Amino acid sequence: MLILKIIGIIFIFLALVIAIEEYNKYCQNKYNFQFIKLSKMLGVGFGTFVFYMGYIWYIAKNSDPLNGIIIMLMASLFILYNFFMNFKKTTFLHGLFGTILQIISIPLFPILLIYHIIQDNKPDATVEVSKNIFGMEKHKIYYKNKE
């Protein structure tokens, strides 16, 4: 039973990754804007990390809590600016959904990055195989242009 639970979790995880990538492609085609890309995810991840470090500074016993509050405020402004750009570039509903996806995707980011690299590096090519009069195979590869 444990194996079935693990397999189920893996399938749900992969389905989530594929759904996020498909939504990202949809927004790219419709709004020319991607929610999940390296620069945005690094920005949200960095802002979240700095916010957490400010919180740690705030609760530390032998430090000034005002420093932690200032760091958390600066990190919050950084994250809110990123979310504001999501709403500005798309509609409210798509911006809200994309922002939620960005928040959910922070722990999934390494997996999303690997999936994105694999999808982008698939060769768009067709191979034509023909035989000459001596029975030897001749291969022609036609690559599609990436646009």
Assigned token pair, 52: 């957490």
Angle (CA) 114 16 31, round 5°: 80
pLDDT for residue 58: 87
pLDDT for residue 74: 93
Instruction: Tell me if the pTM is above 0.75.
Output: no
pLDDT for residue 97: 87
How far apart are the C-alpha atoms of 58 and 52, rounded to whole Å? 10
Residues 6 or more apart in contact with residue 123 via CB below 8 angstroms: 143
pLDDT for residue 147: 47
pLDDT for residue 123: 55
- Series of mean pLDDT values for 10-residue runs along the chain (147 residues): 86 83 86 82 82 86 86 90 88 88 75 64 62 67 57
Helix, strand or coil, per DSSP, at residue 32: coil
Number of C-beta neighbours around residue 84 at 10 A: 12
Q: What is the DSSP letter of 121?
A: T
pLDDT for residue 111: 66
